[in-house]
Amino acid sequence: MEAITQIDAGSTAFMLICTALVFIMTPGLGFFYGGLGRRKNVVSNMMNSVFIMGLGMVLWCLVGYSMAFGGEGLFIGGFSKIGLAGIGVGTIDDSGIPEFVTVAFQMTFALITPAIITGSLAGRMKFKALFAFIALWSIVVYYPLAHMVWGDGGLLGDGWLKSVDFAGGNVVHISSGVSGLVVCLLLGKRYGYELHSYRIHNIPFVMLGMALLWFGWYGFNAGSSGAADGLAAHAFVTTSISAASAMLSWMMMDVIFSRKPTLIGACTGVVAGLVGITPAAGFVPIWAAFVIGFLVSPVCYGGILLVKKKLKIDDSLDAFGCHGIGGMFGGLMTGLFADPAVNETAGLFFGDVAQLGRQALAIAISIAIAVVGSLLCAGIVRAFTTLRVEKKHELTGLDISEHGENAYPAYNGLD
C-alpha cells in the first residue's frame, strides 16, 4: 500500500458502513439457520454462527489478511503482514481509503463464509470438531482462495486466468457450499433421516434472518466496489432486482408444486437471488439482474430436490443447494452477461466468448480446492476426535448435549 496522506472521507465512511452491514449477516445467518432447524438444535445452530464471529476475527487479523492480501503471488499473498504488521493509521491505499478499512471489510467476508458451511452439518457434528475444522478450513481453503480471486497476482484473477468474481461467488458461496456437502457426506445422514419429517421450528426466525441477510448484502455487494461511486450504486440496484425477482419466481414454484405460496419459500428465494447476483452485481447490466434472479430460484429449487430426493444426501439446511449451486450459476451468468460498459469485462453476449470458459474453469478450480481442502481439514480433525456426536446426544439434541442450554425451557410441545 502507498503511504499517502489524503483520505477520501466519503468513500471511507461508505466502506465502514458496508463493513458493519456485512458483519450483521453472520448473526442474521444464525437466526436463519436457527429457525430452519429443529427446536432441540436451535441454540446449536445459532452458536455455530456466533463462535465464528470470535474465531474468524482473531484468525483473520493474525494470519488471514496477510495470506489473502499481504503481497503478490499465485496462491497466497505472503506473511509480511502477520498480526497486521506494517499497517498504521497513516497507511492509505491508492483510492484514499485507510488499509484498516480494507482489513475490516474483508474480515466480515471471512466470518460469513465458514458460517454458511454449518448449515449442511446441523444437528450432528461435535462442537469441538466443528471449531477445529473451521479454524483449519479458513487457513487451508478460504484465505488462499480469497487471494487467488481478489489478491494481486492471484491464480484465478489477474495473475493468470482473468476470471471475475465481484463479491464472492467462488470465494464465499461455492467454497462454503461445496465444503458443506463434503463434510455432510463424511458425517452421514441424521438418524431417522428418511423416516421422519423434519419440520421447520420457527418461521419468524427465518424471516428475521432473511431480512438481516438482505440488509447486510447491500454492504456485501455494493461495498465490493471499494468506493462510494457509480459502480457501488449499480451493484446496489442489481442486488435488489435479483433478490426480488428470485423471491417471486420461488413463490411461483410454490404455487405450481404445492398450490400455496409460503413464507419459507419467499425467504429462500430471496437468499437464492442474492447468492446468484453476488459474482455478477458489478459486471452485468440491469436487465441481466432480472434474468439472473428469475432463473436462479428454479435452478436452486431443482438442485435441492436433486441432492435430497434423488441422491439422498442429508444437506441439513440446504447450504449446498442454495449457496453452492447458486454461486456456480451466478458465476456462469457473469460469463454470459458481463457488460464492458458497466465494468470493463465483456461476457459471451458482449463479444468475449472466452470469458464464459474462464468463469467455468474458475468454478471448477474453486470446487476442487474446496473438496480437497475440506477432506484434508476433516482428516486432521479426525486424528484427534470423532466428527459426529453420539447417537443418544443427537437424538436428545445438540443444545443440551453440546452446550447445556435449552432455548425454550418452559415449552413442552412437540418439535
Structural domains of the chain sorted by starting position, each given as residue range(s) with its CATH number in brackets: 9-403 (1.10.3430.10)
| Residue 202 grid coordinates | 420457527
Check residue 5 and give its pLDDT: 64
Amino acid identity, position 162: K
User: Cα separation of 297 and 330, whole Å?
Assistant: 11
Residue 413 has what pLDDT?
53
Answer whether 146's CB lies under 8 Å from 165's CB: no
Phi/psi at 388 (5° precision) = -105, 145
pLDDT of residue 404: 96
Q: Which amino acid is at 102?
A: T
Low-confidence ranges of the chain (pLDDT < 50): 1-3
Helices and strands, counts by H and E, the chain: 17, 0
Q: How far apart are CA 156 and CA 358, in angstroms?
A: 9
pLDDT in tens, 303-322: 999 999 899 999 999 999 99
Decide: pTM greater than 0.85: yes
> Contact, 169 vs 108, CB < 8 A?
no
**What three-state secondary structure class fits 388?**
strand
DSSP state letter for 272: H
- What CA–CA distance (Å, rounded) separates 90 from 11? 16
Query: What integer pLDDT is reported at residue 44 of this predicted model?
Result: 98
State how far the Cα of 112 lies from the Cα of 386, in Å rounded to an integer.
25
